[in-house]
Amino acid sequence: MMAADQPPSAQAFSPHIPNLLGACCFASVAALRAGDTLLPVLANDFSVSLGQAARVIVAAAIAYGVFQLFCGPLGDRYGKLRIIALCALACVVGNGMAFLSPTLDWLVAARVVSGACAAGIFPLSMAWIGDNIPYERRQAALAKLVSAGVMGMLAGQWFSGLITEWVGGWRPVFLVLTLLFLGSGGLLLRALRNEPPAPPATGKATRTLWSIVNGRPGRWILTVVAVEGALAFGAIAFVPSLLQARYQVSLSIAGGIAALYGVGGFLYTRVAVRLLSRLGESGLAALGGLLLLIGLVSFAYTPVMAWTPVACLISGFGFYCLHNTLQTRATQIAPSARGAAMSLFACCLFIGQSVGVWGAAWVADHLSADIIYMVAGGGLCVLAFIVARHDPLKACAG
């Protein structure tokens, strides 16, 4: 990368900031993934089909994706850390509404509020890393942030099931999420009291967003991550439901097995630096595609339940091999407007996710859930090899 794209190496920041960003990201991902395990109990409590109950996932994903377009430019203009803290505190409202929801429609509306308010947390955290960490160390720094998000995924999928079974009902899950956002957002805002205000960005937000979308590297990366989101998250959302329907396991066991997808991602973050040094970005993406193919297809078609935890673990490891490569490249789409760039990246990912979950819900209701995993595994493998063979940033630089 060009030297001009590198962040200033002398820039200092509080040592507590990365940990607090990780806590906010943990809470935001836990909130997004909590609905996965709760689908069967929500469908039962509100007397609707699994596909209808999936609106709680789709609504949050759409709101999360659309509101990236606002949060990214706000972070560039008023300071990424301050917007992250305020977004986390605003999530208290959405999850409090969910806790009090009397109907499914109310719960869907609460998930819209929660998804919209969480929109600025993870993308702006990645953008902050892009602003403060040189590119050669950025993949490792992003991997640490991703590990917090992965643990949030694990908590959202597994502990939501445990809380529902042990405490009774799905409402306490949203109360716990409310407290998580209150704590993480409040502590980050407090830590920023002595931080100097960020210099405001110049230029109109719409012009900045258009320049990113109109550029060849940006358009390519955004398209790829949208397809990735549709295929991967469409499959992930129905893991607990398929386990319960096929093996008649409890909600906590189904959520625990699904959470191993997140454990696979966490294991990736522990070895990311070594894998990157051995395989490079392209090799890492290709490895991810192969593991996703093996994990997702074998999850659907294995004749024994004992293999399903391994399949989820392999799939999670493979997904983060691919996704972290795309994330790292995305931080260089627009170095002067990383907040907007990373928000667009997340927007496309979660718009893709909402389309994927909607399509997978239709397939689960009308055809067979096995088809979801065959299409997702094969599609992600092909996508990963395309990513491995083509880096639009290098192509444009050349």
CA distance 81 to 20: 10
Residue 7 lies in a domain: no
Q: How many domains does the chain have?
A: 1
Q: Which residue has the tokens 């929500």?
A: 42
DSSP 8-state code for residue 54: T
Res 86: pLDDT: 94
Contact 32, 60 (CB under 8 A): yes
Instruction: Single out the residue of 128, 145, 189 nearest to residue 29, CA to CA.
Output: 145
Q: Which residue has the tokens 């040189």?
A: 134
Residue 46 lies in a domain: yes
- Give every CB contact of residue 265 below 8 A, 6+ residues apart in sequence: 146, 147, 150, 153, 316, 317, 319, 320
Residue 10 lies in a domain: no
Query: Tens digits of per-residue pLDDT, 134-186?
Result: 777 777 777 778 778 878 877 887 788 788 888 878 899 999 999 999 999 99
Residue 44 lies in a domain: yes
Residue 182 to residues 61, 91, 165, 320, 348: CA-CA distances in angstroms? 21, 8, 24, 28, 28
Res 382: pLDDT: 96
Token pair recorded at residue 78: 């008023």
Residue 6 lies in a domain: no
CATH number at residue 366: 1.20.1250.20
Residue 149 lies in a domain: yes
Res 1: pLDDT: 39
CA distance 295 to 315: 5
Q: Which domain holds residue 21?
A: 15-397
Residue 9 lies in a domain: no
Low-confidence ranges of the chain (pLDDT < 50): 1-10, 202, 398
Residue 175 lies in a domain: yes
Rounded to 5 degrees, φ, ψ at 328 are -65, -45
Strand, coil or helix: 169? coil
Res 5: pLDDT: 47
DSSP 8-state code for residue 196: P
Res 208: pLDDT: 62
